[in-house]
Structure 1
Amino acid sequence: MEVATLTDTSSLSLPPDSYIYKILQVDSKIAAISSDNSLRVIDSTSLKEIRDGIIDNVHAGVTCLEALRNDRSVFWTAGRDAVVRSWDLRLGKSTLDLSDDSNAPYLSLCVDDHCIVVGTELSHTQATVILWDNRAPGKPIRRYIESHNDDVTELQFHPQSRGTLLSGSTDGLVNIYNTAEADEDEALSQVANHGSSIHHAGFLSNSHFFALSHDETFSVYHLESQDDSALDVLPQVCGDIRPKLQCEYVVSVIPYIGSGKAILGVGSLSQQNLDLVPLRYADTWSFDLKSTIRLPGAHGEDIVRSMCTDHDTVFTAGEDGLIRAWRADTEQAQKHMQGAEATTENDKRKQRKRKDHAAGGDPTGRFKPY
């Protein structure tokens, strides 16, 4: 087992007893939302607050934080006040508010290009997935009101098929929609019944998605397409992963699309540590326990609520109100944190040699895979 070293800690100058709900890295910055309803932005290198990096009272009950891929200076938040807001750090204020007429608290959020999507809490027997086009931010362009019958806890767009949307709910369902379809029945293209309340769900690759329940059961599902929708591809059911991963709770699943790899952050309060467990694909998805990286001490007696990775550094946030930065101690551990095998200049030379051999070079040349 590899071990990472704690390199820095920041309190974000939060009030006492404040929780951090989520952290999100955008370029050289880390944004955080917390129980004092603030949005705070710090420098990811120094973990110090940037100038004008604190925005108070972003919502009456902030719940969500996201960022657009093509505009890294704008953050999006949502809250229990049934409002979505964009925040431009260059201006230090909100530039757009979105809401609908249901007034149901917003529990999940995803943003992509011009599409903003929220999932609501169950309210008046409805739990709704709502879509806006932020180029014409008036009424929602889609409302899916029948596909879930309990709180919508997760939303995510497909990494390549941008009109493909995933939603997860405490009703145990993970749904896949084609958002180009206006009719909800036509839009709903796949339903996976995980059988237990969804905590996290998302895409592991272009053809697989996962579901993680609040009681830590984990499964991987095949994403149906028009070509194979008639095939009955069984899910890969892992059950409760706590005994296998020797943990007490799962923080999050971070996929590295295109690498056939993801990282699970799993915590243990009794042992006061956080482990990063690689999940790899080779015909099936499996946990690479031998390559686990341990963050000893983690956040002490407090639960880790959120994490993100940047090259050889992992950032964690907890119910102690702290953000911590961890650095891998070995080159191999750094490669795991990066999500794909790092290619050194020496590796590149080996690859060029292999190509030369294949093109008629030294026939005795050997390459030993690593």
Structure 2
Amino acid sequence: MEVATLTKTSSLSLPADSYIYKILQIDSNLAAISSDDSLRIIDSTSLKEIAGGILKNVHAGVTCLEAPENDKNVFLTAGRDAVVRSWDLRDNRSPSKPVRQYIESHSDDVTELQFHPHSRGTLLSGSTDGLVNIYNIDHSDEDDALSQVANHGSSIHHAGFLSNSQFFALSHDETFSIYQLESQDNLAPDVAPHVFGDLRPKLECEYIVDIIPHIGSGEAILGAGSHSKHHLDLVPLQYADNWSFDQNITIRLPGAHGEEIVRSMLINHDAQTIFTAGEGGLIRAWRTSAENAQEHMQEAETPTETEKPKKKKKKKKDHAAGDEAKGRFKPY
């Protein structure tokens, strides 16, 4: 197992007890959405907000963020009102007017948005209603836009494209399945999903952060976290005859975010840096290094100067002994 070293922790102007839901790479910067319904643009080197880089009230109860690779001025957000919105950051005259709205395809909170890696008009959304939808956003009419619906059977935490022809669904109770993308002519027979079930006993973890695919390589990275043991493992998901996990080449982030849940992770291969964000409102940067790993393990668990001491939160009833997992998997 390779061990990563903590290199930097952010200091953002977030309200107290804010969660960061997702971080996203945008050229040389990061974008982040948080529980105060803001979208923030952050310098990836200093982990500080750039000047004018805070857009407030981007959504009523924002839960997810996505950006097309070919236009870094456009973002998609979605949230608890089951609405998908597209924003153009250059439109100063009417910044509250969305380019597209699909408001009937989900009946509950939208928790995930992703574009297809090679078909930029193809959008995926996931929701706590248990559905993963595929849209052709060239159509403004919602009925024409919706092309495929997969019913995962439980509340969607994350979903996304694993390849040009496959997408995955990960639920809040950590069940994981891989689905086949339907062909446009609808003549191909239906392919049954590859059902992994609950990943926690398989990967010896307490929760799953997300799955980051490397399209075209037959590989993806899954974040498996343990808030009680204070670490996050990056586990490879690989395709040979089928998709499977290889725990022999796991990378561990010791300390992670302490007792706080890691909500999002990002791998910048060019900078050889791993970014994580969590419920403590912090973003952290990591580098893989086998040398002096033990020396940094204690340091990673020690609060930095940018971290303010937090009051101990009272545990909810569903966090009591014997029912801890049930409380953990409540979305947002």
Q: Same fold (TM over 0.5)?
A: yes
Measured after TM superposition, the shift of residue 28 of structure 1 is 1.3
1:148 and 1:87 map into 2 onto residues whose CA distance is 26
Structure with larger Rg: 1
Question: Which position in structure 1 is the counterpart of 2:12?
Answer: 12
Secondary structure of 2:201's counterpart equals helix
Structure 1 segment 1-370 matched on structure 2, within 5 A: 1-59=1-59, 61-73=61-73, 75=75, 77=77, 85-88=87-90, 96-99=95-98, 129-130=102-103, 145=104, 147-179=105-137, 188-225=146-183, 229-311=187-269, 312-329=272-289
- Stretch deviating more after TM superposition (46-55 or 272-281): 46-55
Measured after TM superposition, the shift of residue 189 of structure 1 is 4.1
Measured after TM superposition, the shift of residue 178 of structure 1 is 4.4
Query: Which runs of 5 or more residues in structure 1 are unaligned?
Result: 100-115, 119-128, 131-144, 332-370
Query: Which runs of 5 or more residues in structure 2 are unaligned?
Result: 292-332
- Stretch deviating more after TM superposition (6-15 or 297-306): 6-15
2:110 and 2:80 map into 1 onto residues whose CA distance is 13
Q: How many residues align?
A: 287
Secondary structure of 1:221's counterpart equals strand
Measured after TM superposition, the shift of residue 159 of structure 1 is 1.9
Secondary structure of 1:98's counterpart equals coil
Measured after TM superposition, the shift of residue 17 of structure 1 is 1.7
2:78 and 2:211 map into 1 onto residues whose CA distance is 21
Secondary structure of 1:242's counterpart equals helix
RMSD: 3.0
Distance 1:43 1:219, change over 3 A: same
For the Cα contact (< 8 Å) 2:78–2:111, is it kept in 1? no
2:87 and 2:138 map into 1 onto residues whose CA distance is 24
Measured after TM superposition, the shift of residue 227 of structure 1 is 6.8
Q: Deviations over 1:134-162 (max 9, x none)?
A: xxxxxxxxxxx3x5444433333322233
| TM-score (ref. length: structure 1) | 0.68
Measured after TM superposition, the shift of residue 245 of structure 1 is 0.9
Measured after TM superposition, the shift of residue 53 of structure 1 is 3.0
1:151 and 1:18 map into 2 onto residues whose CA distance is 19
| TM-score (ref. length: structure 2) | 0.75
Measured after TM superposition, the shift of residue 266 of structure 1 is 1.6
Tell which has more relative contact order, 1 or 2 (C-alpha 8 A, sep 6+).
Answer: 2
The structure richer in strand per residue is 1
Secondary structure of 1:290's counterpart equals helix
